[in-house]
Structure 1
C-alpha cells in the first residue's frame, strides 16, 4: 500500500491530456449526482491510470472543487497531498507480482464500514484488479453490492480478461486507450527535454506508453538497452561470445534484459511474417533485425520467445536462478538463431 501512497501527486495537478475525455465523463457524472459506486479503469500499463484514479479521488473528496479541479487548500486536499487522508484506502499485493489475498479484502471491508472522518466521500483505489485471487474477489463482491453512501471504489486493471465477470459487472468501466503520438510525443519531449525524434523512438520501444517511456530513460534503462542491443549485434558478428555477454549483464536487472531481448525477437517475428519496416518497434536496429529474420526460421524464433517468457514467469514468482547460466543459455540460443 505504501508504494501507491508514495507516488501520490498534488491533487490540483493537471490530468494527462490523453485522459481528458475520461476525466470529463467522471466530472459530469459527479456533478449530476450519478457517479457510480465503483469504477473500473481499464487499459495498458504505463499510460497513467493510477494518476487518473488519484485525480478522481482528489476531486470527489475535495470540499470545494473549483474549475473542474480539487481546490488544493481545504483540509481534505491538504491531507491527500501529504498521503495521510483517513478516508482514502489503497489496496495492492503485498509484493509485486503476488496475489491480493482475502485477508486484505476483509481489512478493506472494515474500512468501508467506518464513517468518513472528514465528511464526504470515502475512496478505495485497488490495483491491479486482476491480482485478486478467487477468494479475495468473492469477498469484494459484497462490498461492491452494498458499498454504503458516498463511497467510491476505483479498480485499476491492466488485463481486463483476467478480472472475474462478477467483478466487472458491478463496476462502470472506463476504458483508457494508449495515447496517440500527437498527445504523447510532446508530453514526453517536455518531461525529458528531448527532441521529437528521440521521443518518438522511445515511445516506439515502450509500445506507446508515456509513463513507461519516462521511467525507461530516467532509470537508466535506455542506456542498458543500448548496451544490450550492441552486445546482441556483436555476438552475431563473432566479436563477443555468449559467455562474455552474460558476464556483462549478470549484475543488471535480468528481468529487464530478458524483456528487451523478447522485444527484439518480437520484431524479428514480425519482420519474418511481413517484411515491412513499419511493423518493428526497435527501428534503430533495423539492419540486425532484418538480417536475423532472413537467416532464421519461425520455429527457432518462437521456441526462444517461449523460453524467455517461461524464465520471466519464474522470476516474477520469485524463483532464484543462476543469472549467469540463465543469460548464457538465452544468448547461446540467440546466436543459434542464424546457425544451421
Structure 2
C-alpha cells in the first residue's frame, strides 16, 4: 500500500444531523470512557466517513476545545494539510474489492509503533463489511489488544454483513438518516437549488443527502430518466427486456436495481394504503398507479425479494453476468401487469 493511501488531510466538519452522535463521543472522551473501537453504522450517503474524520481530529488534537479540535496545534496542522503519521486509513485496494488479510497485517504493524506526535493513534476502516473472513479474523487480535491511546473507527453500510465477533468488540454508534426538512435545507444550500428540486432529489436517493449531492454532480438524472422510460416502454411492450438490458449494459447495475427497488417500494405503498400520497418517485406516479392497479402483492413482493437478493450478491463482490441478471429481472418486471 502506498503511503498516500494510508494518510490524507481531513475534512472534519459535523453535519447537523449528527450532532447527537458527536456529543456522545465528546462525553465519552472527556470522561475518559472512550472505547478502543467504535463501529459507525448506517445507510450509505449520510456522511459517516466525515463523522469518523471529525472524531479522529478531535481525539488527536493536543488542545481540544469544548466542542471541536483547536485547529492550531501541530497535530491539527498535520491533519488539515498533508496528513498525520498517526492516522491510518484502511480501505479496499480497488472499489468493490474486499479488504485483504495482508492489508490488516500491515495495519497491525502500524498499531505496534509508537505515536510519532504523541497522543492518540487512530485507524479509520471503511467499509467494515468488505473484510473477507481471513482479514476480519486477523483484525480480532488488534481489537482485543489495541494498545494504549489507540482508537479504531470502523464504518459499515451493511451492519448485518459484519462478523458478530467484530461487532462484539466495538461500541456501536448508530447513524440515522437526517430529518427530511433538515436534509432538504442542507441540499438547497449545498447545491444552490430550489426547495422542491432538493426535496424530490432527496426522495430519489431515499433520504441520504450526500448521495443526493453525488447524484446531481455525477449527472445521474439523465441515466435515471432513460432507465425509467425504458421500464415504462417494457410495460407498454414497446421494448423487450433483452433489448433494455443491452441498452444499460455499461451502467452501474446496483444503481439501476436501487432505482427499480424504489419503484417497487412506491407500488407497495399504493397497494397497502390505497393512495399515492406517500409515493417518492413523483415523476413516475402515473406508471406506478397503473402497475399497482393491474398487479398483485405477491408479484411485487417476489420481484422485490429477487432484487434484494441480487443486490446483496453484488455487494458481496460476486461477479454475475450483467446482461442475464438484468434480463431476468426485467422479464419479471414485464410480467407484473400480465396474467
* TM-score normalised by L of structure 2: 0.88
Match of 2:271 in 1: 272
Q: CA deviation at 1:185?
A: 1.0
Rounded to whole Å, the distance in 2 between the matches of 1:335 and 1:102 is 44
Q: CA deviation at 1:201?
A: 1.4
Q: CA deviation at 1:320?
A: 5.5
Q: CA deviation at 1:315?
A: 4.6
Q: CA deviation at 1:239?
A: 4.5
Runs of 4+ in 1 over 6 A off after TM superposition: 1-7
Pair 244,134 (structure 1): closer, same or farther in 2 beyond 3 Å:
closer
Match of 2:321 in 1: 321
**Do the aligned partners of 1:62 and 1:77 also contact (CA within 8 Å) in 2?**
yes
**Do the aligned partners of 1:124 and 1:152 also contact (CA within 8 Å) in 2?**
yes
Match of 2:88 in 1: 89
Matches within 5 A, 1:1-340: 9-11=10-12, 14-66=13-65, 68-242=67-241, 244-313=243-312, 315-316=314-315, 317=317, 319=319, 321=321, 323=323, 326-340=325-339
Rounded to whole Å, the distance in 2 between the matches of 1:138 and 1:221 is 38
Q: CA deviation at 1:187?
A: 0.5
**DSSP 3-state at the match of 2:321:** coil
Q: CA deviation at 1:211?
A: 0.9
Rounded to whole Å, the distance in 2 between the matches of 1:262 and 1:193 is 29
Bigger CA drift: 291-300 or 66-75? 66-75
**Unaligned stretches of 5+ residues in structure 1:** none
Q: How many residues align?
A: 337
**DSSP 3-state at the match of 2:11:** coil
**Do the aligned partners of 2:9 and 2:78 also contact (CA within 8 Å) in 1?**
no
Pair 169,240 (structure 1): closer, same or farther in 2 beyond 3 Å:
closer
Q: Deviations over 1:266-319 (max 9, x none)?
A: 322332333232443213222211111111223333443344445545555352
Pair 283,89 (structure 1): closer, same or farther in 2 beyond 3 Å:
same
Bigger CA drift: 15-24 or 215-224? 215-224
Rounded to whole Å, the distance in 2 between the matches of 1:153 and 1:314 is 28
**Unaligned stretches of 5+ residues in structure 2:** none
**DSSP 3-state at the match of 1:190:** helix
Pair 254,44 (structure 1): closer, same or farther in 2 beyond 3 Å:
closer
Bigger CA drift: 253-262 or 282-291? 253-262
Rounded to whole Å, the distance in 2 between the matches of 1:132 and 1:18 is 28
Rounded to whole Å, the distance in 2 between the matches of 1:34 and 1:173 is 14
Pair 200,134 (structure 1): closer, same or farther in 2 beyond 3 Å:
same
